[in-house]
Amino acid sequence: MVSSGPAEVPAEEGGHRLLERRFTARLLPQLRLLVEECAAREGLGEPRRGEFVLAVDEIAGNAVEHAGGSGRLVLRRVGEELECRISDAGPGFSEEVIPELLPGLDGAPKGRGLWLARLVADRFAVTGGAPGTGPPGAVVTVAVRLR
C-alpha cells in the first residue's frame, strides 16, 4: 500500500475524543490554549497540566519545524488518562534518536523537546516512519494519568 499523506494515527478503540486539529506554526499558540482548556475540563490539575501542555507543544513544534510545517493533533480521554497523538508527514524518526540524558549534558545538540515530553509522560511512544522503512511521517503519543 502506498500512502502519500501523513502517518496514520492508529485506530482509536475506546476513549472519548476531546479535540482534533490540523495545525501549522501560525496555529501553535491557539493549539496550546485548546489543549490547556481540554486538560483542565478533564480534571488534570497543576502542575501536571502545565507539564502536559508543554510536552504537547514541544512535539507539535517539532512537527512544524522538522516535518514539513504542519501536523495533526488528536486529544482524547482513555480511561483515567489524557492522551495526545500528533502525526506528521515528515521524514520520520525512531524513539532511539531521543537522548537518554538532558541534551547538552551528553553532547547531543538537539532533542530537548522530545526528551522533556518523554520525561513528563506516564506513557510515551513514537510509531511510524523511521526513515526509509515505509510511508513518510511519524506519530508521537504522550499520555498522563488524570488521577
State pTM to two decimals. Answer: 0.82
The mean predicted confidence, pLDDT, of the chain is 84
| 119, 38 contact by CB (below 8 A) | no
Span 63-75, pLDDT tens digits: 999 898 999 999 9
pLDDT at 80 over 90: yes
**15 vs 89: CA distance, rounded Å:** 25
Cβ neighbours around 38 below 10 Å, total = 19
pLDDT of residue 7: 38
pLDDT at 12: 47
Beta bridge partners of 21: 73
CB 68 within 8 A of CB 123: no
Give the separation between CA 138 and CA 90, rounded to whole angstroms.
7
